[in-house]
Amino acid sequence: MQQTPATPTHCPYCALQCGMNLTPVPEGGVAVAERPDFPVNRGALCGKGRTAPAVLSDRVRLTSPLVRKDGVLTPAGWDEALDRIAEGLARTRADHGPDAVGIFGGGGLTNEKAYALGKFARVVLGTSQIDYNGRFCMSSAAAAGGRAFGLDRGLPFPLEDIPKTGCVILVGSNLAETMPPALRYLTELKENGGRLIVVDPRRTRTAEQADLHLAPRPGTDLALALGLLHLVVAEGRTDEAYIRERTSGWEETRAAAMAHWPEYVERITGVSVPELREAVRLFCEPEHAMVLTARGPEQQAKGTDTVGAWINLCLATGRAGRPLSGYGCLTGQGNGQGGREHGQKADQLPGYRKLTDPEARRHVAGVWGVDPDSLPGPGRSAYELLDALGGDVRALLLMGSNPVVSAPRAAHIEERIRSLDFLAVCDVVLSETAALADVVLPVTQWAEETGTTTNLEGRVLLRRRAITPPEGVRTDLYVLHELAARLGVEKGFPTDAEEVFEELRRASAGGIADYSGITYRRLAEEDGVFWPCPAPAGRNTPPAHPGTPRLFLDRFATEDGRARFAPVSHRPIAEEPDDEYPVLLTTGRVVAQYQSGAQTRRVDELNAAAPGPFVELHPRLAERLGAAEGDPVAVVSRRGRAVAPARITTAIRPDTVFMPFHWPGEGRANTLTNPALDPTSRMPEFKACAVRVERLEAVRG
Ligand SMILES: Nc1nc2c(c(=O)[nH]1)N[C@H]1C(S)=C(S)[C@@H](COP(=O)(O)OP(=O)(O)OC[C@H]3O[C@@H](n4cnc5c(=O)[nH]c(N)nc54)[C@H](O)[C@@H]3O)O[C@H]1N2
Ligand SMILES: Nc1nc2c(c(=O)[nH]1)N[C@H]1C(S)=C(S)[C@@H](COP(=O)(O)OP(=O)(O)OC[C@H]3O[C@@H](n4cnc5c(=O)[nH]c(N)nc54)[C@H](O)[C@@H]3O)O[C@H]1N2
Ligand code: SF4
Ligand SMILES: [Mo]
């Protein structure tokens, strides 16, 4: 029998975008094999990536459009389903104006899809009401990075630099569970004599690897970083020449830090003064050091300032824009980085351009062949958009998110979604949100389509089609093409991903995230290309731009080339515990489930490993409640009540409980969470709210 050659591609899930080889199997679907030559993961895969083919099975996926008839979702043909959507969107627009039609996208969508979705909103619908789930993810780091450096890219250096630095402070990342193959970089760091500090209210699998684990009270990272900066100044560890030559705004920031005495910071965070001093010593002694943040410090109503405070620490010690030193954010979703660059965000045009910038509007409108004045202005952020459903926004097209499970204050958002005049969802499975739709369109999955993603390093990658999708399933690009045509726009929405990418190149040219020098051909030959990668000027094929693995080595991307300090001060979380709600709830992930679980809850092996929600609590708290391991406990916040079995562990602070957010129904963590938003990034406070915990018998009396 002839061997089918394997197709090298990338995982459908997280931002590491591990390389893998796919081979079609006779019974349908693909087999996943190692791809040791791809540098990011060198063959290693986590259980989610390994089992991703299970979601290709007809047993769990959608294979026909569904249209609601007499209240029931019923299989229908593609034309009927597309007609219904076009009608639903057009009627709403006619009755209530273009801004009554909303679009909600996702950071898992490829660059091509995200680009086409943003263009569809502005050109076909003329609506300003588009945003995406990246607001729930790393928007605070993006805002802080943009403010400090003039450019936001997850990591400003490749992962391979991490083992060569002297110290890493990992703030609110549980890498060992959320990007398991990346743990290797931290292990190698330690093997090389480097130090690891982990900041997490829980002693996670990642924290267990640390030389020093700081366990602050949730929502107090801002104070913690200021306390460290205070000590840096007090101990004379600032890099004065660097501050003078490469930064601006130090005096104000220095003054703010000096107001945060270590004893004061200890009272706020629960991290002791000796621990603070030890952290400063480990961070400052080596020649190079890095700070990496993830959702812990970012998913806070002050996430932008919090990340700003960690960046301040890097700047004051001369640890940014130098080899083997810097600040980076570990982005989350498969295309968390690219998804935030090409226009599905409320205030954004492709190439990381601003929708309010007249020059950006002129450039992109030129590529799109429309009048710049016809482009709407910025719309609402994700939570605000979801909150407006059924009010100002009456019809919604949703692609690549499952907000019934993943949005904060989810019961309220579910009710808003139910109150829509019209909802259309494109998905690969019947998610909890798709189940509420008027029309559901079944779309192709990673192994069945081509497209690009940009991983956490800013490395643009080519995902290749390895198998033919089932009859009855179409691509997201096909959906947008067909809807555009039905709404009167015949051109400009190709179904071929490479054609979309060619247009994206031109639209991004000259922007911050410049992809114009990147082609599918290059991506097929190289291990990805780091943006910015401008197209070479001139016509006689001059040498291609190599891409930019390392940013800021000569200058920052601000107007004066200097990084900007952020003069920030401690402030409390939006909802402090009180007598009625005395405990803090924080939320996050487990290794075997992904996000809202829409995909991974359909994989037997993963369900066996992580079958359902739980409430992690300290023995002291459990004792007070009279709860034993496995007992159902109720967690109650001002927004609702969730029930899940108790998991008792000393790995969490006694004043805090933790719930993963991967499940719907009774154990849905987001029934409880607080949608208080960061004023700049509009990121909700997923990581801290006030709750009361009750043993279930006590509740039911
Ligand atoms: N298995 C798995 N992997 C994933 C995902 C998944 O759903 N499942 N999702 C992907 C996506 S989209 C993302 S965004 C990433 C997220 O990756 P991570 O950021 O690593 O994931 P989280 O579990 O949300 O949060 C990390 C840690 O923050 C801690 N934390 C809670 N509150 C605070 C706080 O106030 N301060 C600090 N410093 N820490 C706090 C939590 O205890 C938790 O251990 O993972 C990606 N990878
Ligand atoms: N309490 C709490 N809540 C959180 C978080 C937290 O830490 N705590 N984290 C937040 C974060 S960081 C994130 S990123 C969000 C994520 O939460 P969601 O936005 O709900 O993300 P997913 O569950 O990945 O949903 C993606 C949906 O799109 C489908 N899908 C996948 N690929 C495609 C595609 O190519 N096309 C189409 N049309 N559909 C596709 C999937 O089947 C799934 O139904 O959750 C946020 N919610
Ligand atoms: S770490 Fe992320 S990219 Fe790698 S296999 Fe797991 S889910 Fe996929
Ligand atoms: Mo995320």
Counting ligands in written order, the one closest to the CA of 597 is 2
Q: Write a three-state SS string for 200-230.
A: CCECCCCHHHCCEEECCCCCCHHHHHHHHHH
**Cis peptide bond prior to 611, omega within 30° of 0:** no
Residue spans of the domains in the chain: they are 7-56, 66-136+337-530, 140-329, 583-695
Instruction: Give dist(CA 537, CA 268) in Å, integer.
Output: 54
Ligand 1: nearest atom to the Cα of 294: 19
Instruction: Give dist(CA 407, CA 391) in Å, integer.
Output: 18
Instruction: Give dist(CA 119, CA 657) in Å, integer.
Output: 42
Contact 310, 327 (CB under 8 A): yes
How confident is the model at residue 539, as a pLDDT? 65
Residue type, 480: L
* Alpha carbon of 41 to ligand 3 centroid (Å): 9
Residue 130 β-bridge partners: 103
Question: Quick check: CB of 648 below 6 Å from ligand 3?
Answer: no
Task: Give the three-class secondary structure for 417.
Answer: helix
How confident is the model at residue 537, as a pLDDT? 80
Residue 104 β-bridge partners: 131, 398
Question: Quick check: CB of 615 below 6 Å from ligand 3?
Answer: no
Counting ligands in written order, the one closest to the CA of 589 is 1
Q: Whose CA is nearest to atom 17 of ligand 1?
A: 178
Side-chain half-sphere of 680: how many Cα atoms within 13 Å?
Answer: 20
Question: Quick check: CB of 494 below 6 Å from ligand 2?
Answer: no
Q: Whose CA is nearest to atom 1 of ligand 3?
A: 179
* Alpha carbon of 615 to ligand 2 centroid (Å): 21
Residues with CB under 6 Å of ligand 1 are 14, 137, 171-175, 177-179, 199-202, 204, 218-219, 221, 294-297, 332-333, 586, 588-589, 591, 593-595, 658, 687-688
* Alpha carbon of 589 to ligand 1 centroid (Å): 6
Ligand 3: nearest atom to the Cα of 11: 8
Q: Where are the alpha helices (DSSP H) in 526-599?
A: none
Question: Quick check: CB of 331 below 6 Å from ligand 2?
Answer: no
* Alpha carbon of 212 to ligand 3 centroid (Å): 27
Question: Quick check: CB of 402 below 6 Å from ligand 2?
Answer: yes
Q: Whose CA is nearest to atom 10 of ligand 1?
A: 332
By the 10 Å C-beta count (0-12 exposed, 13-18 middle, 19+ buried), 80 is classed as exposed
* Alpha carbon of 639 to ligand 3 centroid (Å): 33
As a whole number of angstroms, the longest Cα–Cα distance in the chain is 81
> What six digits make up the tokens of 425?
């969802």
Nearest-10 Cα torsion for 646, 647, 653, 655: 0
Name residues whose C-beta falls within 8 Å of residue 462's C-beta, 6 or more positions apart in sequence: 9, 450, 452, 520, 523, 524, 528
pTM of the model: 0.97
Residue type, 335: N
Cα separations in angstroms, 272 against 212, 257, 465 = 12, 17, 53
Four-residue CA torsion sign, 79, 85, 89, 94: positive
Contact 650, 389 (CB under 8 A): no
Task: Give the three-class secondary structure for 333.
Answer: strand
Task: Give the three-class secondary structure for 369.
Answer: coil
Question: Quick check: CB of 46 below 6 Å from ligand 3?
Answer: yes
Counting ligands in written order, the one closest to the CA of 170 is 1
Ligand 1: nearest atom to the Cα of 592: 1
Question: Quick check: CB of 14 below 6 Å from ligand 2?
Answer: no
Counting ligands in written order, the one closest to the CA of 16 is 3
Nearest-10 Cα torsion for 612, 613, 618, 620: -100
Residue type, 635: V
> What six digits make up the tokens of 133?
């789930």
Instruction: Give dist(CA 566, CA 584) in Å, integer.
Output: 28
Question: Quick check: CB of 589 below 6 Å from ligand 3?
Answer: no
Domain 140-329 class, CATH top level: alpha beta
Question: Hey, how many other C-beta atoms are within 10 angstroms of the C-beta on 2?
Answer: 4
Contact 535, 546 (CB under 8 A): no
Test site for ligand 3: of 9, 10, 13, 455, most ligand atoms within 8 A of the Cβ: 13
With vertex at residue 32, the alpha carbon angle to CA 29 and CA 35, rounded to the nearest 5 degrees, is: 145
Q: Which CATH code of 3.30.413.10, 3.40.50.720, 2.40.40.20, 2.40.170.20 fits the domain covering 583-695?
A: 2.40.40.20
Q: Whose CA is nearest to atom 11 of ligand 1?
A: 332
Which regions in the chain score pLDDT beneath 50?
Answer: 699-701
Test site for ligand 3: of 9, 10, 11, most ligand atoms within 8 A of the Cβ: 11
How confident is the model at residue 543, as a pLDDT? 81
Residue 659 β-bridge partners: 587
Residue 348 β-bridge partners: 354
* Alpha carbon of 268 to ligand 1 centroid (Å): 22
Ligand 1: nearest atom to the Cα of 48: 1
* Alpha carbon of 295 to ligand 4 centroid (Å): 8
Counting ligands in written order, the one closest to the CA of 401 is 2
With vertex at residue 569, the alpha carbon angle to CA 565 and CA 574, rounded to the nearest 5 degrees, is: 125
Question: Quick check: CB of 295 below 6 Å from ligand 2?
Answer: yes
Q: Whose CA is nearest to atom 8 of ligand 3?
A: 49
* Alpha carbon of 687 to ligand 4 centroid (Å): 13
* Alpha carbon of 661 to ligand 4 centroid (Å): 12
Instruction: Give dist(CA 239, CA 181) in Å, integer.
Output: 34
66-136+337-530 has which CATH code? 3.40.50.740
* Alpha carbon of 1 to ligand 2 centroid (Å): 41
Residue type, 507: A
Counting ligands in written order, the one closest to the CA of 175 is 1
Kind and range of the H or E element at 168?
Answer: strand 167-171
7-56 has which CATH code? 2.20.25
